Amino acid sequence: MAPPAGAPRFELADIVRQHRAALECTVRLHAEQRRVLTDIAQCRTAILGGHLDVCQTCGYEHPSYNSCRNRHCPKCQALTQEHWIAKQRIRMLETRHFHVVFTLPAQLRPLAAHAPTRVFKALFTCAAKTLLEFGERRLSATLGVTLVLHTWTRELEYHPHVHAIVTGGGLSHDRRSWTSTHRRFLFPIKALSRVFRAKMRAALRREYRLGRLKSFDDFNDPQAFDLLLGKIGKPSWYVYAKPSMHGQYVAEYLGRYTHRVGLANSRILDVTDEGVTFRTRGEAQIALHPVEFLRRFVQHVLPRRLHKIRHYGLYAQNDLAEAARRCLPSASALPQAPLDYRQHLLALTGRDLSICPHCAGLLVSHPLPNARSPPQRAA
C-alpha cells in the first residue's frame, strides 16, 4: 500500500523490523539500545493501541495509533519540538544570540562511547563554564546559555559535540543594567578553544583519579591515560561560532537542534535487502548495508536519564532572567501559552482532527485496545 501523500516513502521502522535480528547477531546491544529499537518498530502501530475516529454523519472511520514517544524516534519529534519551541518563546530574552559549537577531538570519541554519562557531563559542564567565565571576565555580567548535545555527523558517524545558544550580552552583577557584546562578535574563538580544552582535560583527570574511568580497556596500561591527555593537549580544539540572530528567531532556530535525531525518515532515499541509501549534505548521498546502517544509528542512543538539553546562567534561574528582561530596551509582550497537540497539528498541516475529511462532519474518537496491555477481566 502506498504511503499517504506527503509521508516519507521509506521509514527507519521498516529497516528495524527487517534487520534487527541480523544486527543483534553482529553487535551486542545494551538495554537502552534494545528499548529504542523496540519502540521505533512499534511506533504508531496497533501494538501501542490508539483511537478510532468515526464520523457521525457519513460513517467514515479512521484509526490513529499511539506514538512511542521515544526521543530517538524520527516520527515522534515534530509536535514535541513545536510544543518545546512555544514554551521557549516565553523564556527567551529579546536580545541577540550567538550559536557556538564545542566539539570533542577524535582521540576522545572511544572514551565517550565507553563512558558517555561521565564524558558528556564533563562536556556540558566545561562548555558552559567556559562561556560563563568569559562573560564574567570580559563583560562583568552573567550570560544566558542553552546547550544541546548531538553525537552524529550527516553520515551517522560518531561525533560528540554540543550546540550552544548564547546571549549577546549579560546582566550586570547588581542586576540593574544589561551589557552587550559587539553585534558581530562574541568572544575570541581561539581563546574559547584553549580554555575549553584545559577545562576538559582537568575534568577527565578528576574522573580518572576518582576511579570512574577504570573500566576502559585502553587504560589498563598505567601510562595510557597520561598519553591520551598528552595527545589531546597539543592540537587546538574545534570551536565554531556563527553570526548573531535576534531573540524573536532564536526559539525557532534552536528548535532545529533540540529534537533532531540522527536520521529523519525524509532523508532515506532507498531501502533494499542489500543497502540503505540516504541523503547526507545537499544532493550528496551514501549507501550502507542495512546492518551497518543500524549499527551506526544505535551508537547514538543516549543513556537513560541523560538530559540532552541544559540551561545555564540567566536561562537556569528565573529571577535572573526576569531581572535581565526588565533591563533590556525592547521588551515585547509575552507570547501566548503553548497550544495542545491538535492545535499544533492544525497550525502545521492545516488538518483539523475533529472534522471528517469526506463530508466535514464531526469526528468522534473511540479508544482502541493496547495489544501490550493485559486482557480485561470479565465482569
Mean pLDDT of 76-100: 83
Distance CA 75, CA 146 (A): 25
Query: Residue 378: its pLDDT value, please?
Result: 45
pLDDT greater than 90 at residue 319: yes
What 3-state DSSP class applies to 64? Answer: strand
Mean pLDDT of 203-207: 94
Q: Give the other-Cβ count within 10 Å of 239's Cβ.
A: 23
Maximum average pLDDT range among 38-52, 82-96, 238-252 = 38-52
The residue ranges of every structural domain in the chain are 78-262+304-327
Query: Residue 367: its pLDDT value, please?
Result: 85
Query: Residue 113: its pLDDT value, please?
Result: 94
Mean pLDDT of 58-84: 85
Distance CA 326, CA 176 (A): 9
Going through 125-167 in order, the beta strands assigned E by DSSP cover: 141-142, 144-152, 158-167
pLDDT greater than 60 at residue 338: no
Q: Which of 265, 253, 247, 189 shows the shortest CA–CA distance to 4? A: 265
pLDDT band at 221 (very low <50, low <70, confident <90, very high): confident
Tens of pLDDT, residues 224-270: 998 898 888 877 688 888 877 876 678 788 877 788 888 999 999 99
Distance CA 151, CA 109 (A): 10
Mean pLDDT of 152-168: 95
Tens of pLDDT, residues 21-35: 999 999 999 999 999
pLDDT greater than 80 at residue 370: no
Distance CA 15, CA 1 (A): 17
pLDDT greater than 60 at residue 4: no
Tens of pLDDT, residues 131-148: 999 999 999 999 999 999
Query: Residue 241: its pLDDT value, please?
Result: 83
What 3-state DSSP class applies to 280? Answer: coil
Query: Residue 347: its pLDDT value, please?
Result: 60
Query: Residue 138: its pLDDT value, please?
Result: 95
Predicted structure pTM score: 0.86
pLDDT band at 366 (very low <50, low <70, confident <90, very high): confident
Query: Residue 327: its pLDDT value, please?
Result: 92
Percent of the chain topping pLDDT 90: 54
Phi, psi of 323 (to 5 degrees): -65, -40
Is the distance from CB of 193 to CB of 236 less than 8 angstroms?
yes
